[in-house]
Amino acid sequence: MYDYIGAFCEEFAYPSEAKEALLEGYKRLLENKKAGDIYHNYIEMYSEDILMDYNKALVDLENAAELSGVNKYTVALLLLIGLSKHLRKLYKNRGIHYQIYYDSMCDLKWKLFECHRMHNVWGSFVFDWHAGFFRLELFALGRLQFEIIKFKGNYSKNGYSICEGDAVINVHIPSCGPLLHEDCMKSYVQATELFKDSFEKKPIPFVCYSWLLYPSNREILPKNSNIITFMNDFDIIRSSDDEQGSDLWRIFYKDSHKKPEDLPRDTSLQRAYADWLMQGNKVGMGYGIFLFDGENIL
């Protein structure tokens, strides 16, 4: 597994410092037999296609971290990388293209960077989020990530109706660079193809619940913002304020708890949100939907 972890880090272009930290963490994990057994038991379970309880795994991993002295976020990522070895076989057995595997496992790198910016640790602090990838329910297709879920509510447009409980494609947006509209459109096309067997006919509904769809973004950000362009694809049918600012970490990372006047202003997004918060305004979430005919948004 040591060699595989190293090869994985190379394959996905991890920073050398991150690779070294992960390999050192793995060695230290194995130095404690009980911690090593916890780790390898989960690798074995997954390789035998035994459905994992990811919540229980997280508790066990924290125990392994305490026993070995390795940071719990590093241990979490080490397990995910270990599981990726069998996931390759599952993709191949199901005839899913390697590029989809590669894009999906890149999410581990995006979370690696987030963890380092938030906690100064090479690892993952959102272990349970990754479960969908390893259950083959969640897939990255180019810029965006997708899964099939059940729709909550009712929606009609252009003579088409989506009802409570209907299948829809849920969109996730990883923190991996600019949110260019042409990249999003390519991802929608790929998702339509990947999930076509789950929908009897077109158009196919896509939904998203995110701070990126908070209606006040139209006041916070310039009209030519990539976020606004992304929002414009959706009919935003519900929204809510978030008094706690739970997703501000996605903009300000470890500084998100600071007073508005003390927030960093290194990017245009940070400056726009800091100004908005200094005016006493709220942030929040939006839930949107659009219909896609395979080439165009209706």
pLDDT for 120 = 98
The 3-state DSSP class for residue 286 equals strand
pLDDT tens digits, one per residue of 122-170: 999 999 999 999 999 999 999 999 999 999 999 999 999 999 999 999 9
Fold of the domain built from segment(s) 141-247+283-292: Aminopeptidase (3.40.630)
Among the residues of the chain, which ranges form H helices? 2-11, 16-31, 33-47, 54-68, 72-93, 98-119, 131-134, 181-194, 217-220, 226-231, 249-252, 268-278
* Residue boundaries of the structural domains of the chain: 2-136, 141-247+283-292
**b/e per residue 115-154 (b: at least 16 CB within 10 A):** bbebeebbbbbebeebbbbbeeebbbbbbbbbbeeebeee
Cα separation values, 11 from 102, 103, 109, 198, 223, Å: 9, 12, 11, 32, 38
pTM: 0.95
Residue 156 in tokens: 């009609």
- Whether 289 shows a pLDDT value over 90: the answer reads yes
- Whether 37 shows a pLDDT value over 80: the answer reads yes
pLDDT tens digits, one per residue of 234-286: 999 999 999 999 999 999 999 999 999 999 999 999 999 999 999 999 999 99
**Token pair 């940071």: residue:** 71
